[in-house]
Every structure is written in structure tokens, then in C-alpha cells.
Amino acid sequence: MKSLLILVTILYTTKTSYSSCYWNENCHYKYFSSKTPYEFVRGDIRDSVVIKPGCEPVSIWGLLRHGKRYPSTRFGKSMNEALAIRDNILASYEKGRSSLCAQDIEDLNAWVADKKMFDAAAELTPEGYEEMFGIGKRIRHTFNDLLEKLDKYTFRPAFGKWIEDSAKAFVKGFNNDKLHIEKALPESDVMAPYLTCGKYQKDVQKNPNIYAESEKYKRTSEYLATKDRIQRRTGIDYELTDTNVTALYDLCRHTWSGVESKLSPWCALFTKDDLQVLEYIQDLRSYYRNGYGTAQSEIFGQIPLADLLRSFQKVKEGDGKKMTAYFTHATMLDMVYTSLGLFKDNKPLSSANRDRDRKWRSSANSAFSVNLVAVLNRCTKNDEIDYNVVFYLNEEPIRAICADGTCTWKEFEEKLTPFLNTKIDFCEFKSEPY
């Protein structure tokens, strides 16, 4: 009887270990907050485009986050230092202290760092280029009649080489070498007005207290249990710090490839629950820095929306542009969502309760290359002309702005007209954007 019990225990342990191997999981968790590859959240506007009978697109306006980039200098330094932990993980496995699977250990041991990940801080990655190129290509294909002879247009990036390169990749997707990209303005006007707003930079962007909820969450039993699981799973013989955990998480999410569907062996250090907990920390950070947790966010978000309204009004008046595209940061997209009332939860996000069904999810809303696009359609019925507007997020129609996903001109104008008089005189002084 005792021998049978031992055998059952061995079989159960083996089955449990095998079923938790990262390399052969059936469904990997692919959502890494603002570092999520675009491929995991995008639709395809070629399939999802909404054009009602008797209507034709006459203008497109878009706000796009830059493509996947290498980590900033600060985070890159922490990630580089965390590489040393790999040796400890491998040694712990050899001593029987790790619960990682053999193949996951082999993959981690064989992993070779992309030198540019640490030497090319914040530059656009090859995958980021492919993300932006693909968006441009699909938009060009979908609205071919409008964009084939593109004469009146604006392509303008916010300041930053990775953003400027994202704009180049997007425009390359149009397969038209004659298209011109405007020079980035240091103040970033429509694309990032918050960058030079002194009071906002002081009180929010550079204020560590804005992250109070995410720091409180790191003291909850839920986060501490996650940290303990990582500790036990890796078998490391010294206590991991929060900085270590963040750096290992960054190694996981920066080394996933969405375009190539290539797993990161660093993600084997985490369970699905671990990744969801770490994702929530990032949600709390973006919610209170860029979203509903900060009053100024709604005001800043109104500025590009006012530009959208003016752009379409000019088209209606017989002037205007066929295409307007601004390239910016995730922060700006978050602010625009806030102005539009998108992804708003009934209660503010809190360290005390991780709502698994929350609407504010940075993995979907602020992934690399996320984009908000509005299309103005001119419709003719009984010799009368009317207009409607369809909003798209990541190449899928948004149905939360107007009831059936298509805004009448009246609905569109009423929603955005209040933004025309938006002022940011609360800034008090200008700050350097970078």
C-alpha cells in the first residue's frame, strides 16, 4: 500500500510539472501591458471596414502610437543586470531546487541577447517597423480609391527618433515614395501637448506619488504570493527584490516576438497568474498617470480630438485633407480614451481589488502601435448629401462611441464641439520635453 502511494505521488508530481511547462503550453498569456506586441491585439481593417450603401470615404484621421522599441536606458540597465540571474537559475536547476522544466531551462540557457536591446535605447525594433508598415499597408489597401492619388495629406510624428522611424515605416506601407513626412516639432503640439506643460510634468509625470496605488499593490498578499511563486519556481538562493522581478518581467515581455510568433524563454519564469498580477501593476500606473486617475488627462486628450473635428469640418466645406496621421506616445492615446469616455470602469482602479473584468487594460489600449482612426464618409441619398464617421481602434470598429458603431455627423459634431475651446493655461510654465 505504501509503495502504491509513493508511485501515485510520483506520477502526480510528474504530471503537474509537465503540464506547467512553458514551452508546450497550449495557450500562452500574451498580454504584457504597454509592451504587448501589436500582433496580439490587432484586427484587420480590410475585413472590418464599415461603409454603408451609398457612402464613400472622403477623409481619414489617425493617432498612432509608435511601434515596438528597445527599452529606455534606465530599464535597459536593470534588464542587463538581471541577466546574471540566469546563471543562478541554471545552477539551481542542476541542484534540484528549481521547478522549471528541462526544455525551458535548455531554451533559457541557449537564449542570446540582442545587443541592440541594451545599446540602442528606445530605438524602433525591426518588429516595430513591421508593425507600423503593416498598418500603413492595410489602410492603403482598404481605402485605395481615396489614397491612390494622395495629394492633400499630413504625416507628422512627435519628437523622438523611434517615433519618426515609426512614421517612416507607416508611410512606406503606402508604396508611394513621393509622400512627405513633416518634421517633428519639439513641442509636439497636437501629438503630445502634455510634454511641455510644466505643472503637469511636475505634479504628475515626474511625481513619484502618482504611483502610490501600484506601490501599495506590491504590499498586498496577491503580489507577495506572485513574488514567492517566482522565487520558488526559479529556485534562486537569495531573495528577489521588486526591482529584480520587474527586470525579469521586462526581459520576458521585450523578448517576445509577435510578428514571428516566437516565445520568450524568460516568460517561463512566470505562471499565467503571475503575468496577470504584473500586468495589473502597469494598469494602475497608466490609469493614475495617463487616464481617469488624473484630471488633466481628459483636458489634454481633447486637443487632438478638436483637431479631428476641424479636419473633417474643412473636408465638408470643400477643403481639407484626404489623410491626416499623427504619431505619438501611449500616454496620448490614453488621454484621448479618457476624453471620449472609453474603457471607464464604474469604480477607480484600486490596489485593494484587482477587478479581472476591468475595462482599463493597458495591454489592449496601450500596446505597441495601437491606433485610433476616424473615417469620414460622404453619403448620397435622393440627391442629398450627408456625412457619417466611423471610429476604429486597432483596426476594429468602436461601438462604444455611437450606438451602432457609426456616428451621424450630428452625433460626431455634438460630441467633439466642446473640445474646440480647450485650453491648457493651467500649465503655468513650459518644461523641456526630453
Q: Per residue of the chain (434 residues), give pLDDT as tens.
A: 434 333 333 333 333 344 479 999 889 999 999 999 999 999 999 999 999 999 999 999 999 999 999 999 888 999 999 999 999 999 999 999 999 999 999 999 999 998 899 888 889 999 999 999 999 999 999 999 999 999 999 999 998 999 999 999 999 999 999 999 999 887 668 889 999 999 999 999 999 999 999 999 999 999 999 999 999 999 998 999 999 999 999 999 999 998 888 899 999 999 999 999 999 999 999 999 999 999 999 999 999 999 999 999 999 999 999 999 999 999 999 999 999 999 999 999 999 999 999 999 999 999 999 999 999 999 998 889 999 999 999 999 999 999 888 999 999 999 999 999 999 999 988 887 65
Q: How many CB atoms lie within 10 A of CB 429?
A: 10
Cell of 152: 492633400
- Per-residue model confidence (pLDDT) at position 433: 63
pTM, two decimals, is 0.93
Residue labelled with grid coordinates 448629401: 385
Q: Where are the domains of the chain?
A: 27-427
Amino acid identity at 6: I
The CA distance from 1 to 419, in Å, is 77
Query: Please, are residues 251 and 382 in contact by the beta-carbon 8 Å criterion?
Result: no
Residues counted in the chain: 434
Containing H/E element for 393? strand 384-393
Q: Is 297 helix (H, G, I), strand (E, B) or coil?
A: helix
For residue 10, what pLDDT is reported?
Answer: 36
Please, what is the Cα angle at 429 between 283 and 299, to 5 degrees?
45
Among 276, 400, 288, which residue's Cα sits nearest to residue 348? 288
- ∠ CA 414-418-422, nearest 5°, is 155
In which residue are the cell numbers 484621448 written? Answer: 336
Q: Are 98 and 234 in contact (CB under 8 A)?
A: yes
- Rounded CA-CA distance 210/320 in Å is 40
Amino acid of residue 68: K
Q: If we measure between CA atoms, which residue out of 165, 170, 131 comes closest to residue 41?
A: 131
Q: What is the CATH number of domain 27-427?
A: 3.40.50.1240
- Look up cell 523578448; give the residue: 255
**Residue linked to cell 488624473:** 294
H or E element that contains 46:
helix 45-48
Nearest of 409, 371, 374, 411 to residue 390 by alpha carbon: 374
Cα separation, 277 vs 131, whole angstroms: 27
Give dist(CA 170, CA 136) in Å, integer. Answer: 5
Looking at residue 8, its pLDDT comes to 35
First to last CA, the chain: 71
